[in-house]
Structures are given as structure tokens and as C-alpha cells.
Amino acid sequence: MDPSIQRWRSARIQSDRLFSLLDPAALYERPIPERHRILFYLGHLEAFEWNLLRGARKPFEPAFDRLFAFGIDPVGGGLPSDQPSDWPAVDAVRTYNSRVRAELDNTDSYPDLLINVAIEHRLMHVETLSYMLHQLPLASKRRGEPAVPDVTGPPRKPGMVEVPAGEVTLGLARDAGQFGWDNEFDAHSVTLPGFAIDRYKVTNGDYLEYVRAGGSPPVFWKRSGDEWIYRTMFEEIPLPLDWPVYVSHANASAYARWAGKELPTEAEWQRAACGAPRAGNYGCVRWDPVPVTAFGAGEFGIEDMRGNGWEWTSTLFAPFAGFERFPFYPGYSADFFDGQHFVMKGGSPRTAACMMRPSFRNWFQPNYPYVYAGFRCVMRGANQ
């Protein structure tokens, strides 16, 4: 079997497992107000692949092909107002999904570009669905903890790390023979002056000091008397002070100002990540973060830059020079070149390993607080 087909089927298994964690009634819930009900995503994964890969095959359920085709941000900035009764029955969606898989599985191979789009699109939704499931009541989910040992780390070394002036490459070369999304092209070099950057991501313990000074708490925290509780995917635990904090871009920026620092640019983050160890908390082996000291440092002594939480940058999501839309998915990136989305780098515990390439760019709106995204701060010039 074509290795790409095997990877695609493995991605299906991952998404199927995620849906299997839910109480069936939860499929009609909308745990994040800005997003569709969970049922949409049950149909969307297959509908996207059917619309992408079906070629000359005739539609057998065109209404579902349209209903489940696309849907990310709310139209016009408003919130969806549909009701559960507006959606098809779960059994009808599952029947559609089974038929799509049977039809698509009749072909032994697909163009490399399209099959990679199908794989990574599905795995992106495995991650973003995790954000949605995280916001459901605990009783709506059954535990799906992977069988991996707990990870601890040595004590933190306080302070910032000096990164010398130099060049960094952003993006992928078109002749590299490697899959990338349209916004990853083309490769180009950026020359940076020296700067100082936090050795570690900002932790819950660091952010707690900001909250005590009047800052906004993250959505993953819950007040219990005089203490803070952390809501993991499957339970509530005492706030883990050495885990990275997950917050919106707006809250990360506010913390940086409070600390007298700034968020790094995309290029600064990329230079700081030079030589980062391959090991890290990513690839869906864990549901939750681990201590920021758990996986070691890269070339400049900066730690925890692969997985364990995306990292916000100050860079607005925009095209690189020479950007070309995917003709089969023209809006994938271009619809978000709107000056209202910020680049994130690095990956989270639920980011697939194939998307841990240095050129991969993620992005979200600044006030969206549900992403597994943290940050670290920089100081530049005379402020270093």
C-alpha cells in the first residue's frame, strides 16, 4: 500500500478515537460559541476529503457535500445561531461518512499534494477538536489518556537568553520536494539584530503573579476559594505552576507589557528555535502540558520550543513574497490575510508530528482564548 494512504488511514483512526470519547448527546453541543456544533466536524472531515479527492465520481449526497464543506470563523464576526434541530441525525452523518470512505478507498493512490492536504487537514482538526472537547463538561467525555509516563524536569534557570545577530530562514523552498501549505512558500532569509528572549515559556506560576496584580485569568483556570484549579481535558487538578500557561494573544500581549517586555516576531522566534531538540510534547501522546524544563535546550540555550503549547508572536499572518494560492483550496490562507490574525509557532501536545516542521505557520485571532497556546517574551536594543 502507498505509504501516504497508510498515513491517511492512521489519521482517520485518530479522529475516530477523538469522537469516540464523547457522550453521543454531546455531538449537538457547541462548547465554543464562535464555532459550529461538534456534529458539523463529524461530517466535515469526510466531506472535505470527498470534495477534494472524488474527481469524476458522481455525488451521492450533494446536500451533505455542501453542508459540511467549509466552516471555521463566524461570518461577519457574529456568532452562529442555529439550533440542534437544524442538523441531520447522527446516524445519517455516519452513513454518509462510511459511503465516502468506501468510495475513496477504491483508489490505491492519489496525487501527493492532495493526499498530504487531506492528511494534514484531518490532523489539524484532531487538534482544534481537542480545544472544543476541552470546554465540554467533564461528564460529557470518557477518559482517553494515552499510556505514557509522567515527565518531570529539572529546576528552572531564571532569566533571559541573549541571541546574537544573524540570519534565519523562514518558509520552504518550492524546489525542496517537501509538502507545505501555500502560506509556507517561498523560503527567504531575514537578518536580525541581537535580542534577548525568555529561556522558557511563561508558566502558570509566572502568570499567576500577573493575575494577582489584576490581570485576566485563562479560561483553563477555575477559582476555588482562595486557590486556582486547572481544568485538564478529563479532570480538575491544583494549578500546575511549572506548566506553560495557555492564553489568548491579547492576554499574552498584556502580560508582556506588564513585564516591560514584548512578544517576539515570527523571525525572532524562528532564530531562537535553532537547534531545538527533536524531543518534545507533541504528536498526540499526551492530552496536557508538561513542565517547561522537560525536554532540553537548542543552540542558544532556549528550552521547550517544540510542542507543549504553541507560542504567540507579534507578527500578523500575511503572505510571504511569491505567495500562490492552492487552486483547489484558494481560501485556506488568503481568507485570513486580514490583519486580524497572529502567527503562532512551535506546536502543542495535540499537534501531529508531520506539522512540526520549522516552516509550519499557525494563526488565530487575538481574543480567542481556547487554543493550546502560550508565549515567551523578548527584549531588544537598549532594553536588553
Q: What is the pLDDT of residues 370-382, one digit of tens each?
A: 999 999 999 998 6
pLDDT for 73: 55
> Do residue 186 and residue 295 come from a single domain?
yes
- Given a cut of 60, whether residue 74 has pLDDT beyond it is no
Q: Taking residues 237-251, what's their average pLDDT? A: 97
Q: Is the peptide bond before 186 cis (omega within 30 degrees of 0)?
A: yes
Band of the pLDDT at 75, cuts 50, 70, 90?
A: very low
Q: In the prediction, which pLDDT does 71 show?
A: 66
**71 and 208 share a domain?**
no
* pLDDT given for residue 70 in this prediction: 77
Residues 72 and 181 in one domain: no
224 lies in some domain: no
CATH number at residue 80: 1.20.120.450
- pLDDT tens for residues 206-236? 999 999 999 999 999 999 999 999 999 999 9
Q: What pLDDT, on a 0 to 100 scale, did the predictor assign at position 145?
A: 67
Structural domain span for residue 105: 3-140
Q: Which of 83, 109, 140 is where one domain is finished?
A: 140
Residue 77 has what pLDDT? 61
Structurally, the chain folds into a number of domains equal to 2
Reduce the DSSP state of residue 170 to 3 states and report it: strand
Give the pLDDT band of residue 83 (cuts 50, 70, 90): very high
Q: How many CB atoms lie within 10 A of CB 63?
A: 10
- How many Cα atoms sit within 13 Å of 280 on the Cβ side? 27
Residue pLDDT, tens place only, 56-67: 999 999 999 999
Same-domain check for residues 129 and 170: no
User: Residue 157: what pLDDT?
Assistant: 86
Q: What angle do CA 306, 362, 374 make, to 5 degrees?
A: 55
At 79 the pLDDT is 81
| pLDDT value of position 176 | 85
**pLDDT confidence tier of residue 72, bands split at 50, 70 and 90:** low
More confident residue, 188 or 78: 188
% of the chain residues with pLDDT over 70:
96
Average pLDDT, the chain: 94
CA neighbor of 221 nearest in space, from 110, 369, 49: 369
**How far is Cα 36 from Cα 219, in angstroms, rounded to an integer?**
19
Q: Same domain, yes or no, for 128 and 249?
A: no
194 with 101, same domain: the answer is no
**Is pLDDT of 245 > 50?**
yes
Q: Which of 161, 150, 144, 24 is nearest to 84 (CA)?
A: 24
Domain assignment present for residue 333? The answer is yes
Least confident piece of the model among 108-112, 118-122, 288-292: 108-112
pTM, 2 dp: 0.95
**Which tens digits make up the pLDDT trace of 250-285?**
999 999 999 999 999 999 999 999 999 999 999 999
The last residue of a domain, from among 107, 140, 173 = 140
